[in-house]
Amino acid sequence: MDILTLNCGSSSVKYQLYHWNSREVLANGIVERVTIGGSFINHYAKGKGRVKRERECPTHKEAVQLITETLLDPEIGALKDLTEIKAVGHRMVHGGEKFAKSIIINEEALNTFKELADLAPLHNPPNITGIEAAKKVLPDVPHCAVMDTAWHQTMPERAYIYGLPYEWYEKYGVRRYGFHGTSFLYVAKRTAVLLGKDPFETNLVLLHIGNGVSANAVKNGISIDTSMGLTPLEGLIMGTRAGDHDAAIGYYMIKKEGLKPEEVEKILNKKSGVLGISGRYTDRRDVLEAAEKGDKRCRLSIEVESYRLKKYIGAYHAAVGKIDAVTFTAGVGEMSPAIRAKALEGLESLGIIIDLKKNKLSHTRNAETDITGKGSRVRVFVIPTDEELVMTEDTYALLKGNYDIHTNFTYSFQSRDYQNKERAEALEEEIKKSPELKKILASIP
């Protein structure tokens, strides 16, 4: 059985084709620059390697069509016929309070997503467009929605209610929702495996650091607080988002610059964060390189981002109580030793110590690594996330009728014997080039 997952962003569509019976990825890739011109697809198929092809995709509909055509291509594809796809899983960024778990999409659910579009204006509209486009291309199979907000529905009121007029919550649903839930679910369960503990007896601080960045406090295996809020703007410094700031600044700049409210919203979401501070970059590799060459604003950007991460680690340590582990994930979390080191610097009083040599070696998306330092009371892990696998497993379980919320459901990756075949093969090649990587591989008790 083949399951296709689609993750439609504002200007991209990520996809993965997974063969359930053999538990392996048949193909994956991304269509980039959707809606903005110069579109192209980066595609991988098992046994056929990677290829890049250019084709304009003025909407997400054309992007989904390009994906299915590529999957059917006899030279680079992975399918003989679209009927081999038995279900499609879609990432839905914002499910509001209406959805506490993944669902099979019907018209009522799709209309609800449209009603929630204002809560995630950069994400829900392309998610919806992707669903509608995929339903036209694949009309005879179930389509499922996996909500980024669902993981955080366990937060208590004291964590999600804002100090605003309560009527705003009652009328418009103004509250903290949180995001990156699919990633946090995967990483929380894998961290429990590496600790050798029941997932519902683990206390964790999780850090998803990519272009979007959020922190998650996990107590007894469930989310009790998170840094993103009503929208993904709140919280940590991100690639282009401001994160926490004085809400009055928007009004101040409207008066000073004569800006319209929608212009301020665009600046806070797309021209702030690392880009706003550095003035040039969002990619942390570029920022770090420029900082090493003496760029003061890039150096400042790293300091500000790392300091904010450190504050949230401390705050969530206090919220959770005694924690078992701090786990880093996502592009920057997995691949940037410098930012991890700065974020954890000086936290010895909280029992958090990293081994700087191990941290420097941890620069891979193919292995779970342990960078805990000698004498640390808290374990420190780097775990490559796998949102696509969560989406695939939710979709399969919905198809079979045995799916439930994560507190009543067990994923394949919760097994101590679980292995991602694609990553395991890539890791073998990596170790040939960097044998020292073996020293930091996380072991399972």
What residues act catalytically?
A: 148
For residue 443, the 8-state DSSP code is: P
- In what side-by-side order are the strands of the sheet with 204-209? 222-226, 213-219, 204-209, 325-329, 379-382, 369-370
CA dihedral sign of residues 314, 354, 222, 142: positive
CA dihedral sign of residues 159, 162, 167, 169: negative
Helical (H) or strand (E) element with 430: helix 421-433
Backbone φ and ψ for 342, nearest 5 degrees, come out as -70, -35
For residue 186, the 8-state DSSP code is: H
Contact 161, 169 (CB under 8 A): yes
Contact 88, 3 (CB under 8 A): yes
Contact 55, 39 (CB under 8 A): yes
The residue behind tokens 């700049």 is: 253
CA dihedral sign of residues 397, 399, 403, 405: positive
Q: Which of 312, 301, 375 lies closest to 336, judged by CA?
A: 301
The residue behind tokens 């420029």 is: 290
Cα distances (angstroms) measured from residue 52 to each of 43, 63, 78, 94:
6, 14, 15, 31
For residue 442, the 8-state DSSP code is: P
- In what side-by-side order are the strands of the sheet with 12-19? 49-54, 40-45, 24-32, 12-19, 2-8, 85-92, 143-147, 103-104
Cα distances (angstroms) measured from residue 312 to each of 173, 283, 300, 378:
25, 22, 19, 16
| Structure tokens that stand for 11 in this block | 């200007």
| 87 phi-psi bin (left φ>0, alpha ψ -120 to 50, beta other) | beta
